[in-house]
């Protein structure tokens, strides 16, 4: 007779933080730079990523217990046992939490930027004057952090 018991604990640490905003750069209510996309022939994307914007990336933990019992009878070996695994995940990354601005061209972006930095009244967007020159803006809303656990059980018996 042989009894084998195993225990495992695993944890995944992947810490990534966003860089601080430059002076004059637009920021969200959390003080995080939004993602800015400028379309056109020489398009560019800069600012913050639209996911995992201020917090560490997900933290994962796993606990595993396994037990196998073996019995030898003559020419036969019988094994039975099981595994119990529990996973814990913490996600702290609301998609587009800091927002994402999209501009049709560089002139529209520069117009909005100079209005913000120089405290001008209105930007000049191409041939028209508007409150802002970006073509669209999106931002995620909701709880930024949630946790969940997953429990799994495996059993095996001689057949």
Q: How many domains, the chain?
A: 1
Q: How far apart are CA 156 and CA 142, in angstroms?
A: 43
The long-range contacts involving 84-88, CB below 8 angstroms and separated by at least 24 positions, are 84/151, 84/152, 84/153, 85/151, 85/152, 85/153, 85/154, 86/62, 86/149, 86/150, 86/151, 86/152, 87/60, 87/61, 87/62, 87/149, 87/150, 87/152, 88/60, 88/61, 88/62, 88/147, 88/148, 88/149
pTM score over 0.75: no
| pLDDT on residue 123 | 67
The pLDDT profile of the chain, 159 residues, written as one tens digit per residue, is 999 999 999 887 766 666 677 666 667 666 777 778 888 777 888 777 666 555 555 678 889 999 999 999 999 999 999 999 998 887 777 777 778 888 888 888 888 877 777 766 666 776 565 678 888 888 877 777 778 889 999 999 986
Which domain covers residue 126, as residue numbers?
Answer: 2-156
């Amino acid at each position: 007779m042989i009894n084998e018991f195993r225990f495992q604990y695993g944890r995944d640490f992947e810490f990534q933080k966003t860089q601080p905003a430059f002076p004059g750069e637009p920021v969200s209510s959390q003080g995080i730079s939004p993602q800015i996309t400028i379309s056109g022939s020489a398009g560019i994307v800069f600012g913050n990523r639209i996911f995992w914007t201020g917090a560490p990336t997900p933290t994962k933990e796993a606990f595993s217990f396994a037990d196998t019992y073996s019995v030898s009878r003559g020419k036969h070996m019988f094994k039975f046992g099981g595994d119990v695994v529990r996973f814990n995940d913490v996600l702290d990354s609301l998609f587009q939490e800091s927002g994402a601005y999209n501009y049709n061209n560089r002139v529209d972006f520069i117009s909005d930027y100079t209005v913000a930095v120089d405290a001008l009244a209105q930007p000049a967007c191409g041939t028209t004057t508007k409150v802002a020159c970006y073509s669209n803006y999106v931002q995620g809303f909701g709880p930024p952090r949630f946790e969940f656990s997953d429990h799994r059980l495996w059993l095996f018996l001689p057949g």
